[in-house]
Amino acid sequence: MGILNVTPDSFSDGGQYLATEDAVSHALEMVSQGADMIDIGGESTRPGADEISVDDELKRVLPVIESLRDQSDVTISIDTSKADVMRAAIEAGANMINDVAALRMENALQTAAELDVPVCLMHMQGEPRTMQQSPYYDAGVVSEVKAFLADRIEAAIDAGIKRSNLLIDPGFGFGKTLQHNYQLLAGLNDFSDLGLPILVGLSRKSMIGNLLNTDVGDRLAGSLAAAVIAVHNGANVLRVHDVRETSQAVEVIHACHEANNLINP
């Protein structure tokens, strides 16, 4: 899943793809590099980010979705928590919803059920503006995040969303300390018990930069290491900035897994 932020303030690529032509060109480039999905977001969810209106979010994402859909049949994911944005984006040609709030916003559950498209439910402690202010997990981050996702899966199914349309995301960097993030990565296999595809977003995040003392533009090696560990521990979808490099890394680990299956059938 290639990341395409049409925002002025996202932590890595904010401001780079505000023009529709630039955004679509970058999306097509990521497709050529191996992206199976393009995740388009119009509102930054970085720590401390300001909330924007539905109208502003739609003005950013709809022209990009429409233009990309005219030029490619790639799966388009809309990265939003707002029901009105979900509906408009799907009508414009998006195929999937990626919600950092796990359908907890007003009308989100009902809207997702009506749209009948795949939905990724992500864990976030708090909200983007405050989530990194002393995050804490009494029972341990892996068990609490897993319990939250189990509850949201149940809520989604109760609302009429097909289980086959659900994915889960433990929410790296969303209300987690550095230690929490690496505990989640090490314990990612535990989420397989929920029986759904696991999507992870680790690319260029502060859990890489703070560990290695590198800025956003110098986190490729750490991001690739995290991606390989995630796949080894059960991740099915990687949400990334560096598509070509990550695709190559994943190809190597898949070859290793296939070889192991031949050695130990």
* 162 in catalytic set: no
Q: Say how many C-beta atoms besides its own lie within 10 A of residue 151's C-beta.
A: 12
CA distance 19 to 97: 22
The CA distances from residue 25 to 35, 56, 119, in Å, are 14, 22, 25
Instruction: Quote the Cα angle for 13-208-179, to 5°.
Output: 130
Q: Does the active-site annotation cover 239?
A: yes
Q: How far apart are CA 65 and CA 91, in angstroms?
A: 10
Q: Which of 82, 204, 219, 239 is catalytic?
A: 239
Q: Give the span between the Cα atoms of 255 and 243, in whole angstroms.
A: 18
Tell which residue, 225, 186, 180, has the closest CA to residue 202: 225
> In whole angstroms, what is the distance from residue 258 CA to residue 263 CA?
9
**Out of 82, 146, 204, 205, which one is annotated catalytic?**
205
Q: Which residues are catalytic?
A: 205, 239
